[in-house]
A and B are shown apart, each in its own frame.
Chain A
């Protein structure tokens, strides 16, 4: 799962909270992670059903759009 583009200004976003844990079964559309950018927080949902097998960016990490932040095994 990659960080989507949430702002045209670039600069990425900071991971502020993971709602799901490693190895958790997740559903498509379930909020997995919250990021913060430019006075806004943004909930990002899982793109598919599966198991969250990798959390690649931790709380506090600044991440650019397009970077892989999680791995989901469908």
Chain B
């Protein structure tokens, strides 16, 4: 069974949610196959269901730059998105034995760590901590929603984005989290097109769905 990979480019957060919901509803009704959306967001702060506005350290930093702070229906806490951060939104119907939220998140983390390793970043998972890490620093952030065992939202991976704005929040609601990016670690900007190809391959392998059809959308 194929997984369709759809590259949406840079999409404002609200528009991306709307687009994602279209795929999500179609997948619930079996009108499309499993689909993975790859995209980037213009700068935005998002709050998951377990986030608190107290996790924002400096409102003025975001307000002065016109950066929106948006409540979302995903799980998890607060995070920051910006161009250069790869967003992976899998719209996947989980069949048994994958009908297990924790197992699905484990797999997302493994896929992300594997893809990052392929681009030369020694990322991995940490016992008892969600997300993907490089040593003590977090490089990828997870928050998902499920309905009828179809997944919505996903994972955000710092590739080329400026990570300074993370200093203005407590990422995931934890004040002690330090953040990094592939660009910081490698000392140079990465080709996002190549990064997306690597993630597409790993996602396909992780879910053992076989051939990946890559559909480019302008």
Q: Is the CB of A39 within 8 A of B144?
A: yes
> Which residue on A lies nearest to B143, using beta carbons?
A39
Question: Are B102 and A8 neighbours in the complex by a CB distance under 8 Å?
Answer: yes
Minimum C-beta distance from A9 to chain B (A): 5
Distance to closest chain B CB from A7 (angstroms) = 4
A38 with B146: CB separation less than 8 A: no
B interface residue count range (under 10 / 10 to 19 / 20 to 34 / 35 or more):
20 to 34
A17 to B100, CA, bound (A): 21
Report if A6 contacts B (CB, 8 A).
yes
Q: Which of B70-78, B112-120, B161-169 contacts A (4 or more CB under 8 A)?
A: B70-78
A6 to B147 alpha-carbon distance, docked (Å): 11
Closest to B142 in A: A39
Q: B49–A41 contact, CB under 8 A?
A: yes
Alpha-carbon distance between A8 and B101 when the two chains are bound, in angstroms: 8
Given the complex, which residues of A lie within 8 Å of B60, measured CB to CB? none
Chain B residues near A9: list those with CB within 8 A: 102
B145 contacts A by Cβ under 8 Å:
yes
- B148 interface residue (CB < 8 Å to A): yes
Partner of A31 from the list B76, B101, B143, B147 (CB cut-off 8 Å) is B147
Residue of A nearest to B130 (CB): A39
B101 touches A7 (CB 8 A): yes
The smallest C-beta distance from B21 to any residue of chain A, in angstroms, reads: 13
Interface centre among A37, A38, A41 (most CB of B within 10 A): A41
- Beyond the given A8-B102, A41-B145, A43-B147, please list 5 additional residue pairs across the A-B interface where CB-CB is below 8 A: A37-B101, A38-B101, A38-B130, A39-B142, A40-B145
Residues in A lying within 8 Å of B, measured CB to CB:
6-9, 14, 16-17, 31, 34, 36-43, 45
